[in-house]
Amino acid sequence: MKDFPPPTEVKIHGHRVSYRIAGEGPVLVLVHGITATSETWRNVMGPLSERYCVIAPDLRGHGGSARPRGDYSLGAHASGIRDLLVTLGHERATFVGHSLGGGIVMQLTYQFPELCERLVPVSSGGLGREVHPILRAAALPGSELVLPFITSRGVRTAGTAVNSTLGRLGVKAGTDVEEFARGYGSLSNRESREAFMHTLRAVIDPRGQRVSARDRLYLAEEVPRMFVWGERDRIIPSHHGRSAQGDVPNSRLETPSAGHFLPLDEPERFVEILDEFISSTEPAVVDPEAMRQRLRSGGD
């Protein structure tokens, strides 16, 4: 089994983009969630790279990538993924997105359908309103004034605070708590906190998720699609995946017994599910005229 590759970087539009790359074969792009990094894929990237060319970027404002002032919307993140893919010399890929990354890869499919061979949202945002209260609270006005006090002493302080809060709100200790603590612990400098707040408020408000892909799922129906959700996910409920799968003809749904961070909880099962999906489907070729007609019909 191959090891988890170290990060490398490239400059795009004058800004640093950090990413990991390994393997040869069909291109597979793995997109992490909010406050996370390409480390989300540390347990699965090695096995996947035995059969695929796997690319795992750090999104703008996350990990080793730059944190410039600017646009942190789903569309901007999708454009960033497109730009990295083109820079690395790849024309098409299967896109896998976890949590916020799921919303990004769905957005990418609408913006750049010619790039997308397959689509795999994993415990994805953008498919329903419900989201864990800790993320709704972070979107409250003035929350940016509290973050420096939570994260000022680094990962340990942030981890203790988040661990305690999630425990009171019903999330048991485990991978989900550890990864949320790791994520909040990464917000110890002003630039990281600002990037987090811009990204969060682009998709979540105090009432829940404010961006939905449900009304556009029909547009790229040629693209083979599999929704993957941890049945024990307490961050974004698994019924979002069931509802979305029902909206997309011929799509698949897999719900292993795991929490929100499925690639870390059940890496072998995740690799098995993903590999079977890729090997049993043909890469899409989106017909621009068909998409144009679907847009005109409004999905009726």
147-181 pLDDT, tens digit per residue, is 665 555 544 444 555 555 555 555 555 777 778 77
* CATH number of the domain residue 112 falls in: 3.40.50.1820
The predicted pLDDT at position 161 comes to 54
The predicted pLDDT at position 283 comes to 95
Structural domain includes residue 27: yes
The predicted pLDDT at position 198 comes to 93
Domain range for 247: 8-129+212-297
In whole angstroms, what is the distance from residue 42 CA to residue 49 CA? 12
Structural domain includes residue 184: no
Structural domain includes residue 139: no
pTM of the full structure: 0.91
* Nearest residue to 272 via CA among 105, 44, 5, 53: 44
The predicted pLDDT at position 44 comes to 97
Active site residue 300: no
The predicted pLDDT at position 166 comes to 53
Structural domain includes residue 227: yes
In whole angstroms, what is the distance from residue 187 CA to residue 122 CA? 24
Structural domain includes residue 228: yes
Active site residue: 99, 124, 186, 251, which one?
99
Residues of the chain short of pLDDT 70, as ranges, are 1-2, 145-173, 299-300
The predicted pLDDT at position 154 comes to 46
Structure tokens at 212: 């939905």
Structural domain includes residue 15: yes
Active site residue 65: no
Active site residue 98: no
Distances (CA, A) of 281 to 226, 232, 252: 11, 28, 11
Residue with tokens 């969630």, as numbered in its chain: 33
* Under 8 Å between Cβ of 15 and 68: yes
- Residues contacting residue 287 through CB under 8 Å, at least 6 positions apart: 222
From its phi and psi, is residue 10 left (phi > 0), alpha (psi between -120 and 50) or beta? beta
Please count the other Cβ atoms lying within 10 Å of the Cβ belonging to residue 222. Answer: 15
The predicted pLDDT at position 155 comes to 44
CA 183 to chain centre: 14
Domains in the chain, number: 1
Structural domain includes residue 193: no
The predicted pLDDT at position 141 comes to 84
Structural domain includes residue 205: no
Active site residue: 58, 176, 233, 265, which one?
233
